[in-house]
A and B are shown apart, each in its own frame.
Chain A
C-alpha cells in the first residue's frame, strides 16, 4: 500500500511548492535600469550607427 521512495519523491515536491510560495511572498528589491543608463545606451547605439 505504501512505498517509501514514492513518499519521499512527493515530499520533495511539496517542499518545492512550499519554497516557491515562500519565494513569491518574500519581499525583494529588483534593480531596474535607470533612465540615465537607458539614455546612455541609446546614445551609444546612435553613435555606432553614425
Chain B
C-alpha cells in the first residue's frame, strides 16, 4: 500500500508538472495569461495574509533563537557540525539566492528607483529603492528558509523523521487517514512548487547568459538561436551529474560560483567610485535596520493602483517566490546543518546572508545609481527594456570587461547547473517517499521536467510571465509552511516534558 502511494506521488507529480510544461510549450500565452489572472485574484484578496505570515515567521525565528530551545542541538547528543562555519554559510547562501543575485544586482534597485521617481512617493528615490530591494532579499526571505530548514533538521535529526515536507505533520498529529492524506498532499504541492520555481530560475539564467554572450561578442540581435543553443548546452550539462554520483563535485562547483560572485563584488567596489558605493552601502544598512520590521507589515492598501500593481508584482511575488524555494533550500540547509544548535542555525541562516545581500545590492545598486545620477549613460532605459543585460552594461564600463563578463556568464551557468542537479535530487527524494538515494531514472525524469518547465518560461519571453507562473505554483506553500511551524512549536513545547 505504501509503495503504491509513493509511486502514485511520483506519477501524479510528474503528470502535473509535465502537464503544465506541455501546456506552456503548446500555448505559452494562454498559460501566462491564466497564471497572471489567477495570481492577481489571490494577491488582491490575500496580500495582508501573505505579509502577516512572513512577518510572523520572522518573529517566530527570533523567538526560537533566543528562547531556551535555542541551545538544543540539531542532532543527537555529541553530534558535531560536519562543515566549517565559512563553508556552511557559503553553501547555504549559494543555494538560497544563486543566480538571482547576478541577475538583479543592479537591475532591481534601478527598477524601484524608476517606479518611485514616477510616483513621487518619496523624496529620495535611490534610498527607497535600495531599501525595497534589501527588504525583498533580506531577513524575511531568510526567515522563510530558516524556519522550513529548521523544521526539516529538527524532525529528521532529533525525531528520526524522513526529509519529507509531510513527515513532521504525521509525526506530530499521528498517522490517521486525514493526517496522512494532508501530509501526502503537502509533499505533492512541495514538488510542484520546487519544479516550477526551478524552471523560472533556469529561464532567468539562460536570458542572462545570452545577454552576456551578446555583449562579449558584440552581437546586436542574436535572437532565438543563441537562446536555444544556450538552453540545449545547459540541458546537456545536467545529464552527467544526474546519472553519476557527483555530490562532492557539485559542492565544489557551487563554491566556485560563490567565489566568482564574491570576487566580482570586491572588484566593483575597488574599481568603481568606492566612496559613492560605500556611502550607498552605509545608507542601505541604516535604512534597512530602521525600517525592515515595520515594512514587513506594509500592504500599501491605502495607495493608488500603480503602487498596488507594483506591490503585487514585486514584494508579494518575491515572498511567494522564497516560499516556492523553501522546501528545496530547506532540505539542503537541513542536510548541511547537523550538529549545530538551533540558535546557531537561525542566526547563521537569517543574519549572515541578509548582511551579504545588503552589501551586494549596496555595491551593485550604488554603481547603477552612479551611472544614472552622475553620468549620461542610458542605464535607466536599459532597465526598462532589458533588465537581464543591466549587469553586463555596468561591467562594460569597468576595466577588463571581457574577463568580468565571462566570469558572470560562467557563474550563472554554474548556479543553474548546481541548482537543477540539486533540485532533481530533492524532487527525486520527495517523490519516492524520502529515499536518500533516488534512482538515476527518477532524477533524470525530474531533470527532463525541469528543463521542459525552463523552456516554457523561456518561451513566455517575459520576466513578468515567469514571476506569475512561479507565484501561482508557490502560493499553497504559505499554508504549508505555517502548518509546519505549528508542528515545530508543538514539538519544541514537548521537549523536556516527561514522556
**Minimum C-beta distance from A32 to chain B (A):** 6
Contact present for B45 and A5 (CB under 8 Å): yes
Using known A-B contacts A9-B45, A10-B45, A10-B46, determine if residue A20 contacts B159 with beta carbons closer than 8 Å: no
- Of the stretches B168-176, B248-256, B325-333, the one at the interface is B168-176
* Residues 305-346 (chain B) with a chain A CB within 8 angstroms: none
- What does the 1/0 interface line of B479-495 toward A look like (CB < 8 Å)? 10011001001110010
* Cβ-based interface call for B244 (8 A): no
Contact present for A30 and B172 (CB under 8 Å): yes
Contact present for A23 and B173 (CB under 8 Å): yes
Separation of A32 and B490 alpha carbons in the complex (Å): 13
* Cβ-based interface call for B294 (8 A): no
- What does the 1/0 interface line of A8-42 toward B look like (CB < 8 Å)? 01100100100010011000101111000110001
Contact present for B490 and A24 (CB under 8 Å): yes
Separation of A23 and B168 alpha carbons in the complex (Å): 13
Q: What are the residues of chain B within 8 A of A33 when measuring CB–CB?
A: 159-160
Separation of A22 and B296 alpha carbons in the complex (Å): 26
Q: What are the residues of chain B within 8 A of A24 when measuring CB–CB?
A: 486, 489-490
Q: What are the residues of chain A within 8 A of B44 when measuring CB–CB?
A: 6
Q: What are the residues of chain A within 8 A of B490 when measuring CB–CB?
A: 23-24, 28, 30
Contact present for A30 and B494 (CB under 8 Å): yes
**Minimum C-beta distance from B490 to chain A (A):** 6
* Cβ-based interface call for B271 (8 A): no
Contact present for A28 and B499 (CB under 8 Å): no
Contact present for B46 and A20 (CB under 8 Å): no
Contact present for B171 and A20 (CB under 8 Å): no
**Minimum C-beta distance from A45 to chain B (A):** 11
Contact present for A28 and B160 (CB under 8 Å): no
Q: Which residue of B lies closest to A42 (CB)?
A: B76
Which label, helix, strand, loop or mixed, suits the secondary structure of the B interface?
helix
Q: What are the residues of chain B within 8 A of A37 when measuring CB–CB?
A: 160
Contact present for B486 and A32 (CB under 8 Å): no
Q: What are the residues of chain A within 8 A of B49 when measuring CB–CB?
A: 13
* Residues 69-94 (chain B) with a chain A CB within 8 angstroms: 76
Contact present for B46 and A32 (CB under 8 Å): no
Using known A-B contacts A30-B159, A32-B499, determine if residue A6 contacts B45 with beta carbons closer than 8 Å: yes
Contact present for A30 and B171 (CB under 8 Å): yes
* Cβ-based interface call for B41 (8 A): yes
Indicate the member of B42, B171, B486 with the most A CB atoms within 10 Å: B486
Q: Which residue of A lies closest to B173 (CB)?
A: A28
Contact present for A28 and B172 (CB under 8 Å): yes
Q: What are the residues of chain A within 8 A of B42 when measuring CB–CB?
A: 9
**Minimum C-beta distance from B367 to chain A (A):** 42
Separation of A23 and B490 alpha carbons in the complex (Å): 9
Q: Which residue of B lies closest to A21 (CB)?
A: B486
Q: What are the residues of chain A within 8 A of B45 when measuring CB–CB?
A: 5-6, 9-10
**Minimum C-beta distance from A25 to chain B (A):** 9
Separation of A6 and B43 alpha carbons in the complex (Å): 10
Separation of A5 and B491 alpha carbons in the complex (Å): 36
Q: What are the residues of chain A within 8 A of B479 when measuring CB–CB?
A: 16
**Minimum C-beta distance from A47 to chain B (A):** 17
Separation of A33 and B156 alpha carbons in the complex (Å): 11
Q: What are the residues of chain B within 8 A of A38 when measuring CB–CB?
A: 76
**Minimum C-beta distance from A1 to chain B (A):** 15
Contact present for A28 and B486 (CB under 8 Å): no
Q: What are the residues of chain A within 8 A of B489 when measuring CB–CB?
A: 24
Indicate the member of B49, B159, B491 with the most A CB atoms within 10 Å: B49
**Minimum C-beta distance from A35 to chain B (A):** 10
Q: Which residue of B lies closest to A14 (CB)?
A: B49
Q: What are the residues of chain B within 8 A of A20 when measuring CB–CB?
A: 482-483, 486
* Residues 129-175 (chain B) with a chain A CB within 8 angstroms: 158-160, 171-174
Q: What are the residues of chain A within 8 A of B483 when measuring CB–CB?
A: 20, 23
**Minimum C-beta distance from B244 to chain A (A):** 23
Separation of A37 and B44 alpha carbons in the complex (Å): 51
11 contacts between A and B (CB under 8 A): A5-B41, A9-B41, A9-B42, A9-B46, A10-B45, A20-B482, A24-B490, A28-B173, A30-B171, A31-B159, A38-B76
- The 3 A-B residue pairs with the shortest CB-CB distance in the complex, in nearest-first order: A9-B45, A6-B45, A33-B160
A23-B483, A23-B490, A28-B173 known, 8 other contacts, Cβ within 8 Å: A9-B41, A10-B45, A20-B486, A28-B174, A30-B159, A30-B171, A33-B159, A37-B160
